[in-house]
Amino acid sequence: MRKSLMRVFSLGLMASMSTALLPVLTFAGTYNLTVDKVLIDTGDFTKEGIGYNGKSPGPILRFNEGEEVTINVTNNLEETTSIHWHGLILPYQMDGVPKISYPGIEPGETFTYKFPIVQTGTYWFHSHSGFQEPDGAYGSIVIDPKKRKPFRFDRDYVVQFTDKHPHSGKRIMRNLKMASDYYNRQQQTLGDFLSDVNKNGFEATVSDRLDWGSMRMMATDVEDVQGFTPLINGKGPEQNWTGIFNPKERVLLRLINSSAMTYFDVRIPGLKMTVVASDGNYVQPVTVDELRIGVAETYDVLVRPKDDKAYTIFGASMGQTAYARGTLAPRDGMSADIPEMSIRPLLTMADMGMDHGTMEGMDHSSMRGMGSKEDKFYAKGSGIAPTAANGGKFLSYVDLKAQKPLYKEREATREIELRLTGNMERYIWSINGVKYEDADPIKLQYGERVRFKFVNETMMTHPMHLHGMWSILDVGAGKWNPAKHTISVAPGTTVYSETEVDATGQWAFHCHLSYHADAGMFRKVVVEGGPKTASLTTTGKGVPQ
């Protein structure tokens, strides 16, 4: 007992030395969190929001594999709150979703979470009540493994992205309901019409506008919400979060996208990134120049800055309307050039799920999606398929292959189709045309292997997140398909993932875009059968078969 405590303490000491600037809780076993009103300063504006232990983002919780954690959460707000541990496998009563796992945590109440840690890697936690998460209630989790890690690094940093907006989450939702294009300031104007006429000719341009007009949809509808300031570890681009390194060191960056609505295209000019983990699970290492991190996803990447100079960590929003910026430098106070954002992408008819022959003659000035290697996780001819700004390699889901598959490969026992649907004009989002409040729960049987078929009938990209169980994404690699907790489904595409149903209870399953989830793109999953004991032991997940 003492030995493990010592080990934990020394690990904790090393952990706190290697992770600068962010508060870290390292005591074994018991952790205390308070949920507070905090003031958030983005560099562009300050706003009252919600944080943990007096700050937003909240602390980095550092756990050890095999540890039995006790987390006391005290609610200092005037409204109910909750904390969901995103990506963690645990008993459903500890999952933190009000009305599904528990009633929530009342103002003034302290709720004690208690569960064993059965996995390793980078995860995060956030409120699952109202719009508290967009208002600032999020933090990170790093779980150190018992065995040696399959890669080497000299130091690690949590690099957590968010999209902080000057409006509160409640206000944003209300505005979107009044006018779904409330926050879109990238709409096509008369000026765009004239320049398109210049480039493509009058007929082609009018035809294009008529096509979109007949559907009453906008090609510029890439980001529902604009006007935010992207933050890295709570710091805006001007405030410049900085991670220190010694040249030639291997640095592990734990990229976490904790934003409400924004995907980030992340690159570090001058450095390649080697992806070694995705959503907490090890993947066969793949080196890329740029990657797109979807809302709620995590990627662990290794970089090896060789020179004694600063490097910019650059995260452009998917719609190229704003960027997050941090720095890796050998000393404080250094900074490198900030790259330019790329031209704003436009959706195409392919993203609408249509195969239009009228693509010829269209202006492909953005040239996105028309690169040499088309990513099969985007519609063929998509306007938002990403390409690396430096012409190099852009990570695709196809590149993600499990290093150590969590489950043995076997045939799925049944398939469930989930059409991702919505009405942008009314800002209603749903699954199979039905909003959460009008839907029956999805019933699964313990022990089955369900194949989920996501058919995206909308023109937005949805990061679908199933709580409590792994989603094995079908990238066409058979037994090497990676296990993830959040799966991004691009417009006009169909994506498959399989889940070994091995966690009893009830679980949330929803699009992780905050305002979509609230609008109805949400389901309750009920797992019937399985061991009766609502014990704190889970059944062998994470253990290779």
Could you list the residues that contact other proteins (CB under 8 A)? Answer: 99, 148, 150-153, 173-175, 177-179, 182, 185-191, 210, 213-214, 216, 250, 272, 274, 276, 284-287, 302, 304, 401, 403-404, 423, 425-426, 428, 435-440, 480, 518-519
**Beta carbons within 8 Å of 13's beta carbon, 6+ residues apart:** 26
Least separation in angstroms between residue 304's CB and other proteins is 7
Which residue stretches of 137-233 are H helix?
169-178, 190-200, 202-215
Q: Quick check: helix, strand or coil at residue 8? A: helix
Per-position DSSP letters for 59-128, written without gaps between them: PEEEEETT-EEEEEEEE-SSS-B--EEET----GGGS--BTTTBS-B-TT-EEEEEEE----EEEEEE--
Least separation in angstroms between residue 192's CB and other proteins is 9
CB atoms within 10 A of CB 103: 11
Burial call 464-502: b when 16+ CB within 10 Å, e when fewer: bbbbbbbbbbbbebeebbbbbbbbbbbbbbbbbbbbbbb
**Closer to other proteins by Cβ: residue 287 or 413:** 287
Residue 424: closest CA among 286, 311, 298, 519 = 519
**Closer to other proteins by Cβ: residue 235 or 267:** 267
Least separation in angstroms between residue 214's CB and other proteins is 5
**Closer to other proteins by Cβ: residue 26 or 184:** 184
Least separation in angstroms between residue 2's CB and other proteins is 29
Residue 262: closest CA among 300, 314, 227, 218 = 227
Least separation in angstroms between residue 312's CB and other proteins is 20
**Beta carbons within 8 Å of 119's beta carbon, 6+ residues apart:** 65, 88, 89, 143, 280, 541, 542
Per-position DSSP letters for 351-388, written without gaps between them: TTT---GGGTT---TT-TT-SSS--TTS-TT-SS----
Q: At what angle do helices 202-215 and 190-200 cross, to 10 degrees?
A: 130
Least separation in angstroms between residue 8's CB and other proteins is 24
Dihedral sign, CA of 366, 372, 376, 377?
Answer: negative
Least separation in angstroms between residue 323's CB and other proteins is 19
**Closer to other proteins by Cβ: residue 43 or 227:** 227
Torsion angles phi and psi, residue 471, rounded to 5: -110, 110
**Closer to other proteins by Cβ: residue 30 or 423:** 423
**Closer to other proteins by Cβ: residue 67 or 279:** 279
Least separation in angstroms between residue 156's CB and other proteins is 13
Residue 425: closest CA among 155, 182, 96 = 182
**Closer to other proteins by Cβ: residue 161 or 183:** 183
Spacing of C-alpha 344 from chain mean position: 21
**Closer to other proteins by Cβ: residue 325 or 524:** 524
Measured torsion, CA atoms of residues 119, 125, 127, 131, in degrees rounded to the nearest 10: -120
**Closer to other proteins by Cβ: residue 67 or 518:** 518
Q: What is the CA radius of gyration of the chain?
A: 23
**Closer to other proteins by Cβ: residue 218 or 389:** 218
Least separation in angstroms between residue 543's CB and other proteins is 14
Least separation in angstroms between residue 76's CB and other proteins is 26
